[in-house]
Structure 1
Amino acid sequence: MSAAEAAALIPAGANVGMSGFTGAGYPKALPQAIAAHAKAEHAAGRPYKLNVWTGASTAAECDGVLAEAGAIGQRLPFNTDPIARKAINAGEIDFIDMHLSHVAQHAWFGFLGHMHVAVVEVLGVTADGLLIPSTAVGNNKTWLEIADMVILEVNTKPPAKMEGMHDIYYGTAIPPRRVPISMTHADDRIGQPYLKVDLDKVVAVVETHKGDRDNVFAAPDANSNTIAASIIDFLSHEMKMGRLPQEMLPIQSGVGNVANAVLAGLLTGPFDNLLGFTEVLQDGMLDLLRSGKMARASATSISLSSAAYRDFEENIDFYRDRIILRPQEISNHPELVRRLGVIAMNSMIEADIYGNINSTHVMGSSMMNGIGGSGDFARNGFLSFFVTPSVAKNGQISCIVPMCSHVDHTEHDTQIIVTEQGLADLRGLSPKQRAKVIIERCAHPDFRPMLQDYVDRAMQQSAGLHTPHILTEALSWHQRFLDTGSMKIG
């Protein structure tokens, strides 16, 4: 069936579960056909919007074209597309920011409403009706199970030899029928290589031959390299002190240039036979696998630059034995993150002096991307790092502030904050002790005196001295930036 014919099967107002996680494994043809259909409906004076649920982010040819066509009414749980972001922050799309490990179970519980259509990319269909997953598993297992109708995009572009790389676990259940997940090592296989689908629900199959989006990563800059070096030095010290085992615990790394710099630092670091237990496998982790520094990696998605993807394609036999792709309800599962003792490293927008973290909102009200999986790993990990340069906007914004303008991770979930200025180990510290070490070690020198002045005056003026604040000033830094273009005074 053509993509246009398949798109016409999706009614206005439908809840549509689409494949896709961090720019990988998203449908390539249907979104563009849906966008064209929406424009035609709008031109005829008929409303047409869909509620789009995915694993995480997709790409311009999915979220972008749908948002540009005004075809998205509601979106969850994560987005990186600039057109969709603009519509979200203009109030045109209702965006639901969710922990990625929660999405599948909330759909199963019925918390999100009924799913009408699943649009899922696969590599192929076996003779006995099983589906070969693509470059991202995400929430596809759940979408295929709960949707009334299924539209498959069969993409012949990714390497066919990816077959067998996936591990789809079908042992999840709704309380009170849940049982422990029998995984004790990051590279355990606990499921099967294929997705199941009720063939009676499949209403269309669309053929495509197109790769995922090209992720462009800048070469690590001086700040990223400094942050990476601080983390590696800290891990070495923890191992020396006996708080980390000699074989190292599994690594989770968020997305972006700083995360890739940390992984690049591990290439020359003292640790061998590493394991990855993460949500998305990007260039840096592929480098670790190729070098032999990392033995195996578990994720839900492979999201690469064009150069790294060529290497993946050309050496698929090598990588197939070393990469396991799972549903995101498993890759991000709090039970497993805690049992395995994952070392979590995630980026942030800002931290406050007491260790609260804002990962999602610029100036408190504008959505950037979403919380993603950072909460799944931060709260449950053995060690939890949050990283950022100490300043943004050419030094006009301090990423260490008196009070976060939005909180995604509370002080209770934050163990270590790292900027290019240094590393603050917050374990076992009271709020006032945390403020001292964060200001001294993580704040930029241009803002350090202002932060210390705030704390000193808060100690004199605050109603309580457990977590001293001057409530009339706590968010004044953000307001000053909105008013003047700088958090600096004068």
Structure 2
Amino acid sequence: MTHPRIAHPGLATRRVDAAQAAEWIQPGMAVGMSGFTGAGYPKAVPQALAARMEAARERGEPFALRVLTGASTAPELDGALARAGGIDFRLPYQSDPELRARINRGEIEYMDIHLGHVAQYAWFGFLGPIDVAVIEVAGILPDGRLIPSTSVGNNKTWLDLADKVIVEVNHCQPLGLDGMHDIYYGTALPPARRPIPLLQPGDRIGEPYLRVDPDRIVAVVETNAPDRLGSFAPPDETSKAIAANLVEFFRHEIRAGRLSEQLLPLQSGVGNIANAVLAGLQDGGFSGLTAFTEVIQDGMLDLIESGVITMASATALSLSPPAVERFVANIGLFRERIVLRPQEMSNHAELVRRLGCIAMNGMVEADIYGNVNSTHVAGSTIINGIGGSGDFARNGFLSCFVTPSTAKGGAISTIVPMVSHVDHNEHDVDVIVTEQGLADLRGMSPKQRARAVIANCAHPDYRDALQDYFDRALAGSAGRHTPHLLGEALSWHQRYLDTGSMRG
């Protein structure tokens, strides 16, 4: 007799508890786990695994893994394994405080990599063999295919490549997700690659389910736990000002004939500023929009529900608890307007370029020449990672980066002479936006960019100092193409480390 969510008779007999499933994972293995920005990660096996690691540590036995995911997960996975000393290598993106602290203390090797590169690196063999995949799903079909849950991420790749597979069937995930996914199996390794037949964000080019040989599934674990997702604060005045500047820029581009009233497919990073920009599009009277992005968060769900966005393609849902309730209550509508894909599709350079995406991402800081740091504090301390911003910045029709002009109560200027770490160089950055204004850097030389960024984006408390730096660099540097005073270029960051403020 089969289980309601586990319709494959053979796999129904492999139901075990999380502790038994975790026994399949041994020290030193490479484990591909589901999960993308707090959605669709395994809930039980990682915690059972962490308990084994703690017990091994008490016996003086090392027990650590190479952990590969789609993006960030949650405390039940990243936090639990990091706290147990059970991760010796991690990619591609993380946001857990415990994991981050151990990375920055040098206890865990961390590879910060473009999200669109992970699957192909795995297929190329650059990441080594994948021993076990631990994947959350909403259900198992009679033929063994898997109904994906709230994220797809790299699940297809881990299922294709792993020697053994552990499946968590989460009863908390709505069965209405069935049919929302599009899993494309047409990729190949060079030189056998062929064009991906996707022309519009809503095109379905694959199938709704994940494939895996049932013989490789060694354990099935049932869970009933929600994704652990945070709530988003209402946009503050700074976020609203940033959003207004960007929306007005879109209007300018429409008047110039470079965009239509429907814009182009939107890509939006995660966070309060991103939600504010999306709200600004709705307040600005836009309609008939589409999205080709990585994550659907509250602001985008609002636009889909209201009809401002008619179709959205992503790889994960990252919704606050109230938004989850709305999503489940109206899942029939959302299943018609949302397509969830593997991240090798959602972040694919060819598709981003072909569709002409408008990329809108946050940053830590930008320098006067348009180089952007998205990941590090003072050059050395990782925050979360580059995520998918580079996939879109390099390949999109427009590459926009947004941030408040100051941080830490004004002690930090986010516009600096030289960024302390480069994630997106000046060649991949079109527009920089703060609450002070917007700098359109297209078609400008380095010196022209510097003048635009200082005049339009810098906070008044720092504008004169930036202008002074630029003027002296222009007069005193060895080269006049991109003038810098190398002895001072990073002095603002050093001053902050020494005194707690960038102010002179």
**Residue 247 of structure 1: which of 241, 252, 262 is its match?**
262
Correspondence for 1:54: 69
Partner of 2:32: helix, strand, or coil? Answer: strand
Q: What is the Cα deviation at residue 266 of structure 1?
A: 1.2
- The correspondence of residues 246-265 of structure 1 with structure 2, limited to 5 A, is 246-265=261-280
Q: Quick one: distance in 1 between partners of 2:61 and 2:389?
A: 40
Q: What is the Cα deviation at residue 373 of structure 1?
A: 0.3
* Corresponding position: 1:223 with 2:242: no
Contact 2:371 2:426 in 1 (8 A): yes
Q: Quick one: distance in 1 between partners of 2:286 and 2:332?
A: 25
* Corresponding position: 1:99 with 2:99: no
Correspondence for 2:171: 156
* Corresponding position: 1:111 with 2:126: yes
Correspondence for 2:418: 403
Contact 2:136 2:168 in 1 (8 A): yes
**Residue 343 of structure 1: which of 337, 355, 358 is its match?**
358
User: What TM-score results when the alignment is normalised by the length of structure 1?
Assistant: 0.99
Q: Quick one: distance in 2 between partners of 1:5 and 1:295?
A: 45
Q: Quick one: distance in 1 between partners of 2:479 and 2:47?
A: 56
Correspondence for 1:287: 302
* Corresponding position: 1:147 with 2:188: no
Q: What is the Cα deviation at residue 245 of structure 1?
A: 2.3
Correspondence for 1:375: 390
* Corresponding position: 1:78 with 2:103: no
Correspondence for 1:27: 42
**Residue 414 of structure 1: which of 424, 429, 440 is its match?**
429
* Corresponding position: 1:365 with 2:380: yes
Correspondence for 1:297: 312
Correspondence for 1:63: 78
Partner of 2:36: helix, strand, or coil? Answer: coil
Aligned partner letter, 1:440: A
* Corresponding position: 1:238 with 2:253: yes
User: What TM-score results when the alignment is normalised by the length of structure 2?
Assistant: 0.96
Which ranges in structure 1 are unaligned for 5 or more consecutive residues? Answer: none
Aligned partner letter, 1:158: Q
Q: What is the Cα deviation at residue 247 of structure 1?
A: 2.7
% identical aligned pairs: 65
Correspondence for 1:135: 150
Q: What is the Cα deviation at residue 246 of structure 1?
A: 3.1
Contact 2:39 2:229 in 1 (8 A): no
Correspondence for 2:288: 273
Q: Quick one: distance in 2 between partners of 1:268 and 1:161?
A: 30
Correspondence for 2:442: 427
Partner of 1:446: helix, strand, or coil? Answer: helix
Q: Quick one: distance in 2 between partners of 1:197 and 1:41?
A: 32
Correspondence for 2:3: none
Q: Quick one: distance in 2 between partners of 1:418 and 1:303?
A: 24
Q: Quick one: distance in 2 between partners of 1:415 and 1:141?
A: 33
* Corresponding position: 1:172 with 2:187: yes
Q: Quick one: distance in 2 between partners of 1:348 and 1:236?
A: 23
Q: Quick one: distance in 2 between partners of 1:199 and 1:347?
A: 42
Correspondence for 2:32: 17
**Residue 202 of structure 2: which of 182, 187, 196 is its match?**
187
Q: Quick one: distance in 1 between partners of 2:389 and 2:160?
A: 26
Cα offsets for 1:3-54 (capped at 9, x unmatched): 0111111010100000000000000001101100000111111100011000
Contact 2:148 2:210 in 1 (8 A): yes
* Corresponding position: 1:456 with 2:474: no
Q: What is the Cα deviation at residue 296 of structure 1?
A: 1.1
Q: Quick one: distance in 2 between partners of 1:407 and 1:385?
A: 16
- How many residues were matched structurally? 489
Partner of 1:227: helix, strand, or coil? Answer: helix
Partner of 1:168: helix, strand, or coil? Answer: coil
Which ranges in structure 2 are unaligned for 5 or more consecutive residues? Answer: 1-15
Q: Quick one: distance in 1 between partners of 2:189 and 2:246?
A: 39
Q: What is the Cα deviation at residue 199 of structure 1?
A: 1.1
Q: What is the Cα deviation at residue 185 of structure 1?
A: 0.6
Cα offsets for 1:320-348 (capped at 9, x unmatched): 11110000000010100010010000000
Correspondence for 1:483: 498
Q: Quick one: distance in 2 between partners of 1:425 and 1:225?
A: 19
Q: Quick one: distance in 2 between partners of 1:356 and 1:248?
A: 26
Q: What is the Cα deviation at residue 461 of structure 1?
A: 1.2
Partner of 1:321: helix, strand, or coil? Answer: helix
Q: Quick one: distance in 2 between partners of 1:5 and 1:92?
A: 28
**Residue 484 of structure 2: which of 464, 469, 473 is its match?**
469
Q: What is the Cα deviation at residue 214 of structure 1?
A: 2.4
Q: What is the Cα deviation at residue 252 of structure 1?
A: 0.5
Ranges of 4+ aligned residues in structure 1 off by more than 2 Å: none
Q: Quick one: distance in 2 between partners of 1:319 and 1:139?
A: 22
**Residue 461 of structure 2: which of 421, 446, 452 is its match?**
446
Cα offsets for 1:226-279 (capped at 9, x unmatched): 010111111011011101123321110000110011011111113211101100
User: What RMSD over aligned residues (CA atoms) do the two structures have, in Å?
Assistant: 0.6
Contact 2:400 2:432 in 1 (8 A): yes
Q: Quick one: distance in 2 between partners of 1:214 and 1:392?
A: 25
* Corresponding position: 1:89 with 2:76: no
**Residue 306 of structure 1: which of 298, 310, 321 is its match?**
321
Q: Higher mean Cα deviation, 209-218 or 391-400?
A: 209-218
Q: Quick one: distance in 2 between partners of 1:395 and 1:276?
A: 34
Cα offsets for 1:67-100 (capped at 9, x unmatched): 1111111000000001100001001110000000
Cα offsets for 1:118-171 (capped at 9, x unmatched): 000001110111100010000000000000010000001011011000000000
